Amino acid sequence: MKLSGWIFIIIGAITLITAYFLPHLRFFLYIGSTIAAYGLAKVIFNFIFKEDKSLQNSTNYEQLAVKELQESSCKRCRNIIRTYDNFCSYCGCRLK
């Protein structure tokens, strides 16, 4: 998890708390809420972006695993074979 967004939220919250206890520093409320909103947007954006990326990766890995399985077992005897072999080393079945 990226911390940059959370740091903005914390700084924003501290600024808001400071502004709450010091009513004569009204502009701190705007600064604090702006920083907190920016941090929140950053966290949400990172979460969505990360979620999409991980989903794409798992799909790729699944496709790769299926492909690997098809290429590494003999059509006739179902034994595990090396993908670069021309003939099955167990039953002699032509692989390519």
Contacting positions for Zn ion (CB under 5 A): 74, 76-77, 88, 90-91, 93
On whether the CB atoms of residues 40 and 5 are closer than 8 A, the answer is yes
On whether the CB atoms of residues 12 and 34 are closer than 8 A, the answer is yes
What is the closest distance, in whole angstroms, from the C-beta atom of residue 60 to Zn ion in the complex?
29
What is the closest distance, in whole angstroms, from the C-beta atom of residue 67 to Zn ion in the complex?
19
Structure tokens at 5: 């967004």
What is the closest distance, in whole angstroms, from the C-beta atom of residue 94 to Zn ion in the complex?
10
Exposure of 67 in the CB half-sphere (CA atoms within 13 A): 6
Cβ-based nearer residue to Zn ion, 50 or 82: 82
